[in-house]
Amino acid sequence: MTDNIINKFVDAEILLDESAYKKIKNYNDSAYLVDSLIKHMTTSSPEMMVLTGKVVEDYLERTSPDILKTTYHNDSKSQMKLVPQDYDFQILKDASNKSYTNGEIRDLSSYFRSRYHKLRDLLTYKRELKDSTSIKEAMSRDDVVNIVGMVNDIRYTKNNHKLIEVEDETGSATVLIHNENHEVFEHAERIVKDEVIGVLGSRKGTLVMANEIVNPGVPRIDEKPMDFATVFISDIHIGSSTFLDGAFKRFIDWINGDFGDEQQREIANNVKYVVVAGDIVDGIGVYPHQDKELTIKDIHEQYEEAARYFGDIPNVKIVVAPGNHDASRLAEPQPAIPEDYAKGLYELKNLEFVSNPAMVSLDGIKVLIYHGRSFDDMAMTVKGMSHQQSDLIMKELLEKRHLAPIYGERTPLASEIEDHLVIEEIPDVLHTGHVHINSYKRHKGVHLINSGTFQSQTEFQKIYNIVPTCAQVPVINNGSFKMLDFS
Amino acid sequence: MGYFETLEEGTAKAYKVAEEARKKGHDIELEPEIPLAKNLAERVEGLVGPPGVAEKIKNMEDTMSREEVAFHVAKEIVTSDEVMKADPGNKDQFKIKEEAADQAVRTALSIITEGVVAAPLEGIARVSIKRNFDQTWYLAVYFTGPIRSAGGTASALAVLVTDYIRRSMGLDAYRPTDGEIERYVEEAELYESEVTNLQYSPSPDEVRTAAKNIPVEVTGEPTDQVEVSHRDLERVETNHLRGGALLAMVEGVIQKAPKVLKYAKMLDMDGWDWLDEFSKTKKVEKTEETDEESKEEETKIDDKYMRDIIGGRPVLAYPQTRGGFRLRYGRSRNTGLAAMGVHPATMEIVEFLAVGTQMKIERPGKGNCVVPCDTIDGPLVKLRNGDVVNVDSVEEARKIRSQVVEIIYLGDMLVAFGEFLRNNHPLLPAGWCQEWWIQLLENSDSYDEGQRPELDRYLQEGISAPLAFELSKKYQIPLHPDYTYFYHDVTRKDLNSLQSWLNQDIDDHNMEDSLILDPGPEKRILESLGVPHRVQEGKVVLAPDEAYTLLNTLTRPLDTEDNISTMAAVNQVSSVEIMAKAPTYLGGRVGRPEKTKERMMKPAPHALFPIGTNGGSRRNIIDAAKKGNITVDIARCKCTNPECGVGSMQAICPVCGARTVPSSSGKKRINLANLLRKAYKNSGVRKLDEIKGVQGMISEEKFPEPLEKGILRAKNGVYTFKDATIRHDSTDLPLTHFIPREIGVSPQKLREIGYTHDIHGDELNDPDQVVELRIQDLVISEACAEYLVRVSHFIDDLLKNFYEMEPFYQVKTKEDLVGHLAVGLAPHTSAGVLGRIIGFTKAAACYAHPYFHSAKRRNCDSDEDSVMLLMDALLNFSKVYLPSSRGGRMDAPLVLSSRIDPEEIDDESHNLDTMETLPLELYQKTLENVKPADVVDLVDNVKKRLGKDEQYRGLIYSHETSSIHQGPKICLYKTLPTMKEKVDEQIKLAERIRAVDQKGVVEGVLNSHFLPDMAGNIRAFARQKVRCTKCNKKYRRIPLSGECSCGGNLILSISKGSVMKYLDISKELANRYPIDPYLVQRIELLESGIHSLFESDRSKQSSLDVFL
């Protein structure tokens, strides 16, 4: 341990005196303190390179406990780069290294219970569901029904009324939504399997006649002041023969202030964060005969290539979540891209890896990052939804307070003991990708962003006539939305 | 008495017994439920009706083609007075019209499919008269999944005939809305992405054109749980994929456009001209292709058969690769109809080929079944001691198998001309063989018939090398194939170094001695040339014949300057003409193993009697009876005796003994203990340990079988299928001639059943004579025979104890089965074919006449189907047991064809060659890659015999085989217990076969089997259903309560084991062989994905703690 502490400072070219050393050594999480001290010193006061006991004391007093909450994937190497800005970057929610499933049936059971309980807590917080009862109890009474249940099945009667089967731990009930009850019926058209809803109605025999369906929903949030710019990208697909390297280079040049008109350069100057919502590389073995469409057939080299691109972006904090093409497990939540595969990227000190989904705070702005696999299911199941308008899907998911409600279709879900896909906290920004088509919408104060792609139309997309929006990069600059074109 | 009369008499006798038994009233019907049909017309009437249609069909058949008959019969049905007069405005009369249209489509489709296939019953849900938005009436046909069994052309014609019916009824054309048209476009794409590939992938515009122009609505039932985005269209009842409709439109109308157009024109139907567009584009493409094709035929490599390499199913030869199977034309008495001959020594050496094993091949078709033929060339192998030997017997193959280090040549594959004809594949250059050589000799100017005896003597005694050269010089013909080596497989330089090596000490060499040479790299050239030799005391020894041949062929160094082929260069120096020994190599891999096994449902019941979960997971009726009363979902039958009227669930009232009629079904409490006690008494059986029933009935009326049948089946160890018949399944193999000894039946017994003479017209006395097989006779596997013996015991027990009649079979040993009648029935069909058992094969297959297989609409590329004893089918089969679900009437004997008319069976068997020798001209034509249809005049086949007496006899073959079950009977795939061992052997074999690249095989297995399997299972694992261990109920998602509604335990439907199954073996392969790093990385990624799903980070962390 002793050597470790000293080595780290040596590596960072910082001298420390005896008293500083003692203070650090006696601190209960010394390794952590070392890292944050080094970071603090390299970012704030480049001229002072001797660390004294007093500095340590001041630092601890001034910053604790907040600054120490920030998580870093730091190793013994130091932060060589001098980053001019002071970031307040925090990972609020991350599923990496928290996979506690053994793949057994009880894990599956606890996964759905976790989902149900988290969402029920959100629902029963609402006025209209304060008095909700268990389904078993509701079905034994004759009067008003007020329940919270997970959707099992959705059917139609012969007369085209909707039947929704919901369940909780005590039992299940079939809810009938009359097609002349237009408002409710229209709402019910957007209900999908395995989401959790509140039902208000009355019991008629074995059926519940619904008067109202309640989503967990989101309240309108207040706008937060923002004096910096955040760039949102995804689906870069480095390694693919359809990766648009020229456009991506222009994008990097822009961030570095070497591309674009005056206004664009001004924005670039203001950029503090870049968020990547998955599919940074094209991966290998994602679909049959993928090797024929790859220019880099080695997954390690794909990430090395990515590291070369991202290594050219200094002075900006980069946050990377995995997508279905990345070298993480396929089932969601996907843990952060493993270091084994992305060594070069891990060596970049201004780059952070998070899970998919993950919630981060960028100077107090909460960004929920989700790659968007569940859009496939939503587009297939819900009338009027499509890959082209992922903003509508995002809005719906936000109202459902779940990123991937439908189980058993295209989106593989890991039977984690806790459901990490529930949207427990309302973000300021929901950032997604996957569909390769940009979209933007403001819903109740939340920015809904799909960041398109840096990959031109693939063979697969050609067959299905999917036209991607390439190299269109959304930016939130001082709180307002801008789209920049690098194509 | 003639053959068919014998069969008819036997059938009549069986029906009589069955009728008497049925009259006793124990079964739901008082008569056997399988109507007899002598021909197509009767089968159609028996399968779909309407009554009397057989007569009409027969009257038309003389003057019209089958398709014309179909269209005319359909028209007659819908233009009867009653139908024409009916007013669509009136509800009842509307129904009359609709029903007539429905009947007409089914009858027509049944005629087109020869009254065998189940598609007319199961492939069409209904035909409806519907309204256009302008209030005009049109016709809609609702297809279902099983329309697939009809095939593309027939389903296309079903659409055309629906339109013909629409016109005949005076209805308007269907006018689709834009939404409906786009719905088809979407469905076609969705079907390919979500369900499976269509045989033909249409462009969206093609679908659009078809949907817009087909004058009837081609719609259907939902077949797959996939929703479309064009939802809630007013006239389309479902939002799910309509698989049947897509098959009819895409694989039918669009793919078969030229044929549809042909019939539309023939019948003067307008409104189909738009198909011209499709036919033209296809034709243009085709003619362009064919020009190219014939040019490129030799270089074009089709490795489709290798696209998926499956674990444990070895690749035997890469496409067109030296050392692969050599193409040899001809037919043996057990080949044809997609079965092809391989030397049994080859089968022994590779071990993965047994009699009846399927192979996926490069060409001329996609697949075949392997059967032994020992008059073609066997393999050439190299042994551990360096010897290179031709293996030409099974015994030798077994003896040396363990010493084989390399299989240099796999030997011949005997392919009938008919296979090329059926696949419309240009002929490929024939391998140089004796039957070709001898015809050249006979056609030589220097030959006259007086030399025949001398020639025959040579052929009998064998031809030495000096004699071979002498004959070639005398008659000016190429060198005999035995002394023709694979010169084209080596370079001229190779041959020159070989030539100088041979000549190093030649001066001392006496031409009658072996040539002894110092070892050197030239030995490898000898191996590649396919020259047998030995290694003795470190020296390479060439036998006199081989030495003589090489020295007289390679008389001086070859010309290496000019740009000529090795063959041309060899012919410049050789003293006689040298032919290309193997101008065509065929690639192939092992497919599905052969099979012969009793049909068992899972779990396998003895009786179709429902006991719910009362009998435990084994569904044991005895256990259930221990509970006394049980409640099950079962038929309710009411006594017809007005004074009794008691309700029961049997065909005979248990109170008064009168007949009952089923009224409904529902949950009912039955006293099973009591029923079982009575049934024991009735069946004369004291006590059994296990009689297996079913959990619930899946038939409409839920009428159960009498328990007595279950008791007697259990007693005799036989199991029932869903329709109450007992089946035995085998791979289909063709046979046109047999030898009494090989099928284990004495000439005397054979004479008794009508085989009086052999192939040469001599009286049958000797067990080694060759006899032509009658067209409905079967040579069943020994396993099948043993099972059928037990079935016959069951039938006799049933007749004696249950029906109280005389036993029928009284069979003691399997030999007693000879002469008894059986029914052959293929899946996807609904018509059984009458057959007669005449012998037994050790192979795991059922040998029968190609006509018999064709009558069931099967060929012999590993199709398998069932046989049952005729009396079992007549006594026990009942429609009442058939599942009520879609497809329930497939694979059920709804009619029985008692007589095979070669004209009325699938025309695939019409391509069967029937020649003793293929003509010389044909061999020469193969070198020009001509189309088989252009030289079909040179070949005698079944098609030319149709309608004549010769269609039944004289179907001779060109290559003898000494036994139809030589070589391995069980493919190595089936005897190796684990996948690891199968793959190990597969890879070892790949290492030995020269025509196979071992690394490619390893990569292939990973790429097309193990990796997709693992990836698929990981994906499936993360979206799996759960299942109750007690009641077997399935849940799409685990209920929040965590348990089944019955209180039982829930378990995962996809286990950890199935996800991990191939992980270790894949890693091991990746370690052992230098495979593509891309694959190595895919395995690593899958592994980390698997670990992430099955290993908790908590346990990883804690184990790390321990480590620190």
CA distance B803 to B821: 21
Point out the domain boundary residue: B581, B615, B646: B581
The residues with which B636 forms a beta bridge, in sequence order, are: B664
In A, which residues are within 8 Å of B1042 by CB distance? 106, 109, 113, 169
Q: How confident is the model at residue B299 (pLDDT cuts 50, 70, 90)?
A: low
Measured in angstroms, the CA of B298 and the nearest CA of chain A are apart by 27
Q: For chain B, first and last CA: distance in Å?
A: 93
Q: Are B841 and B781 in contact (CB under 8 A)?
A: yes
Point out the domain boundary residue: B233, B254, B284: B284
pLDDT at A100: 85
Measured in angstroms, the CA of B223 and the nearest CA of chain A are apart by 17
Does residue B50 have a cis bond before it (omega within 30 degrees)? yes
Tokens of B4: 């068919």
- Mean local confidence (pLDDT), A433-441: 96
Point out the domain boundary residue: B716, B744, B770: B716
What DSSP letter does each residue of B831-869 carry, written as one string? EEEEEEEEEEESSSEEEE-HHHHHHTT--SSS-EEEEEE
Check pLDDT > 70 for residue B284: no
Whether residue B89 is found in the same domain as residue B160: yes
* Contact residues, A window 357-386, toward B, CB-based 8 Å cutoff: 380-381, 383, 386
In B, which residues are within 8 Å of A327 by CB distance? 1085, 1088
Q: Which of B747, B753, B771, B749 is nearest to B761 (CA)?
A: B771
Side-chain-facing half-sphere of B995: CA atoms under 13 Å: 28
CA distance B846 to B733: 6
The reply to whether residue A152 touches residue B1037, judged by beta carbons under 8 angstroms, is: yes
* Contact residues, B window 1088-1107, toward A, CB-based 8 Å cutoff: 1088-1089, 1092-1099
pLDDT at A45: 54
Which of B203, B1093, B1098 to mutate to probe the A interface, most A CBs <10 Å?
A: B1093
Q: How confident is the model at residue B954 (pLDDT cuts 50, 70, 90)?
A: very high
Q: How confident is the model at residue B293 (pLDDT cuts 50, 70, 90)?
A: very low
Residue A1: count of CB within 10 angstroms of its CB = 8
B405: phi then psi, degrees, rounded to nearest 5 = -105, -25
What DSSP letter does each residue of B886-952 carry, written as one string? TTTTTTS-SEEE-S--GGGS-GGGGG-B--SS--HHHHHHHTTT--GGGGGGG--BGGGGTTSGGGT
In sign, the C-alpha dihedral spanning B689, B695, B698, B702 is positive
In A, which residues are within 8 Å of B1081 by CB distance? 284-285, 298-300
Residue A97 is nearest to which of B1081, B1093, B1097, comparing CB atoms? B1097
According to DSSP, residue B25 is labeled S
CA distance B180 to B185: 9
In sign, the C-alpha dihedral spanning A409, A410, A416, A421 is negative
Looking at every residue in chain B, the average pLDDT score rounds to 92
Check pLDDT > 80 for residue B373: yes
Whether residue B462 is found in the same domain as residue B536: yes
* B481 in any annotated domain: yes
Residue A238: count of CB within 10 angstroms of its CB = 27
pLDDT at B285: 47
* B380 in any annotated domain: no
* B207 in any annotated domain: yes
Whether residue B611 is found in the same domain as residue B574: no
Question: b/e map of B473-512 (b: 16 or more CB within 10 Å)?
Answer: eebebbbbbbbbbbbbbbebebbbbbbebbeeeeeebeee
Residue A287: count of CB within 10 angstroms of its CB = 12
* B731 in any annotated domain: no
Question: b/e map of A305-334 (b: 16 or more CB within 10 Å)?
Answer: bbbebbeebeebbbbbbbbbbbbbbbbbbb
Looking at every residue in chain A, the average pLDDT score rounds to 88
Residue A414 is nearest to which of B193, B231, B1022, comparing CB atoms? B1022
Does residue A65 have a cis bond before it (omega within 30 degrees)? yes
Shortest CA distance from B1040: residue in chain A = A169
CA distances from A200 to A176, A206, B237, B852 (A): 11, 15, 31, 67
- Mean local confidence (pLDDT), B898-905: 92
Whether residue B557 is found in the same domain as residue B632: no
CA distance B617 to B623: 11
According to DSSP, residue B193 is labeled I
Tokens of B440: 């050249």
Measured in angstroms, the CA of B56 and the nearest CA of chain A are apart by 42
The residues with which B412 forms a beta bridge, in sequence order, are: B326
The reply to whether residue A169 touches residue B1085, judged by beta carbons under 8 angstroms, is: no
pLDDT at A86: 78
Q: Are A56 and A24 in contact (CB under 8 A)?
A: yes
Q: Does domain A126-214 have CATH number 2.40.50.140?
A: yes
* B803 in any annotated domain: no
Tokens of B348: 């022994």
* Contact residues, B window 1005-1064, toward A, CB-based 8 Å cutoff: 1011-1012, 1015, 1018-1019, 1021-1026, 1036-1042, 1050-1052, 1056
The reply to whether residue A380 touches residue B1085, judged by beta carbons under 8 angstroms, is: no
- Mean local confidence (pLDDT), A225-242: 95
Which of B1053, B1085, B1088 to mutate to probe the A interface, most A CBs <10 Å?
A: B1085
Q: Are B211 and B174 in contact (CB under 8 A)?
A: no
Check pLDDT > 90 for residue B307: no
If DSSP codes are grouped into helix, strand and coil, which group holds residue B249?
Answer: helix
Check pLDDT > 50 for residue A66: no
Q: At a CB cut-off of 8 Å and minimum separation 6, what does B27 contact?
A: B651, B706, B875, B878
The reply to whether residue B1025 touches residue A408, judged by beta carbons under 8 angstroms, is: yes
* Contact residues, B window 137-196, toward A, CB-based 8 Å cutoff: 189, 193
- Mean local confidence (pLDDT), B1015-1033: 88
- Mean local confidence (pLDDT), B369-375: 96
Tokens of B702: 């839920």
Q: Are B606 and B591 in contact (CB under 8 A)?
A: no
Q: Which residue has the tokens 């209209």?
A: A128
Q: Is B238 on the interface with A (CB under 8 A)?
A: no
* B483 in any annotated domain: yes
The reply to whether residue A330 touches residue B1052, judged by beta carbons under 8 angstroms, is: no
Whether residue B200 is found in the same domain as residue B79: yes
* B23 in any annotated domain: no
* The architecture CATH gives domain A229-485: 4-Layer Sandwich (3.60)
In A, which residues are within 8 Å of B1085 by CB distance? 284-285, 299, 327
* Contact residues, A window 269-308, toward B, CB-based 8 Å cutoff: 284-285, 288, 291, 297-300
Measured in angstroms, the CA of B1047 and the nearest CA of chain A are apart by 12
CA distance B305 to B303: 5
Q: Which residue has the tokens 């190219």?
A: B292
Measured in angstroms, the CA of A78 and the nearest CA of chain B are apart by 24
Tokens of B229: 């985005």
In B, which residues are within 8 Å of A153 by CB distance? 1036
Q: Are B381 and B352 in contact (CB under 8 A)?
A: no
Whether residue B504 is found in the same domain as residue B610: no
The model's pLDDT over A447-458, given as tens digits with 9 standing for 90+, comes to: 999 999 999 998
The model's pLDDT over B842-869, given as tens digits with 9 standing for 90+, comes to: 999 999 999 999 999 998 887 889 999 9
Q: Which of B554, B499, B488 is nearest to B522 (CA)?
A: B499
Whether residue B553 is found in the same domain as residue B654: no
Whether residue B81 is found in the same domain as residue B194: yes
Tokens of B645: 């009227």
Residue A101 is nearest to which of B1085, B1089, B1096, comparing CB atoms? B1096
* Contact residues, A window 394-423, toward B, CB-based 8 Å cutoff: 407-409, 411-415
Provide the residue type at B400 as one letter: I
How many domains are there within chain B? 4
* B792 in any annotated domain: no
Check pLDDT > 60 for residue B938: yes
> Between residues A3 and B1066, which one has the greater pLDDT?
B1066
By percentage, how much of chain B surpasses pLDDT 70? 97
B823: phi then psi, degrees, rounded to nearest 5 = -120, 130
CA distance B957 to B457: 23
> Between residues B867 and B232, which one has the greater pLDDT?
B867
Check pLDDT > 60 for residue B1104: no
> Between residues A9 and B307, which one has the greater pLDDT?
B307
Which pairing describes strands B629-639 and B647-648: parallel, antiparallel, or unpaired? antiparallel
Whether residue B573 is found in the same domain as residue B652: no
CA distance B943 to B736: 16
Which of B194, B1092, B1097, B1100 to mutate to probe the A interface, most A CBs <10 Å?
A: B1092
Domain interval for residue B216 = 44-284
In A, which residues are within 8 Å of B1018 by CB distance? 330-331, 412
B635: phi then psi, degrees, rounded to nearest 5 = -65, 150
Residue B1064: count of CB within 10 angstroms of its CB = 11
Whether residue B548 is found in the same domain as residue B690: no
The reply to whether residue A109 touches residue B1038, judged by beta carbons under 8 angstroms, is: yes
Q: How confident is the model at residue B722 (pLDDT cuts 50, 70, 90)?
A: very high
Side-chain-facing half-sphere of B645: CA atoms under 13 Å: 2
Check pLDDT > 90 for residue B788: yes
Q: Are B380 and B391 in contact (CB under 8 A)?
A: yes
> Between residues B282 and B974, which one has the greater pLDDT?
B974
Check pLDDT > 90 for residue A70: no
Burial of A441 (0-12, 13-18, 19+ CB in 10 A): middle
Provide the residue type at B804 as one letter: E
pLDDT at B562: 87
ipTM: 0.81
Shortest CA distance from B237: residue in chain A = A158
Which of A94, A96, A101, A295 to mutate to probe the B interface, most B CBs <10 Å?
A: A101
The residues with which B340 forms a beta bridge, in sequence order, are: B370
Whether residue B568 is found in the same domain as residue B633: no
The model's pLDDT over B408-428, given as tens digits with 9 standing for 90+, comes to: 999 999 999 999 999 889 999
Check pLDDT > 60 for residue A377: yes
B853: phi then psi, degrees, rounded to nearest 5 = -65, -40
> Between residues A11 and A401, which one has the greater pLDDT?
A401
Phi-psi region of B246 (alpha: psi -120 to 50; beta: other; left: phi over 0): alpha
Q: Are B322 and B486 in contact (CB under 8 A)?
A: yes
Does residue B120 have a cis bond before it (omega within 30 degrees)? no
By percentage, how much of chain B surpasses pLDDT 90? 75
pTM value is: 0.82
The reply to whether residue B1022 touches residue A412, judged by beta carbons under 8 angstroms, is: yes
Whether residue B562 is found in the same domain as residue B617: no
In B, which residues are within 8 Å of A112 by CB distance? 1037-1038, 1040
Q: Are A369 and A357 in contact (CB under 8 A)?
A: yes
Q: Are B569 and B559 in contact (CB under 8 A)?
A: yes
pLDDT at A288: 84
pLDDT at A74: 39
Q: How confident is the model at residue B907 (pLDDT cuts 50, 70, 90)?
A: confident
Q: Which residue has the tokens 């389903």?
A: B155
Q: How many pairs of residues across A and B have Cβ atoms under 8 Å apart?
A: 124
Which pairing describes strands B137-143 and B217-220: parallel, antiparallel, or unpaired? parallel
Q: Which of B864, B863, B907, B872 is nearest to B893 (CA)?
A: B872
Measured in angstroms, the CA of B527 and the nearest CA of chain A are apart by 38
What string of H, E and C letters represents the secondary structure of B108-138?
A: HHHHHCCCCECHHHHHEEEEEEEECCCCCEE
CA distance B138 to B562: 73
The reply to whether residue A331 touches residue B1018, judged by beta carbons under 8 angstroms, is: yes
CA distance B880 to B697: 11
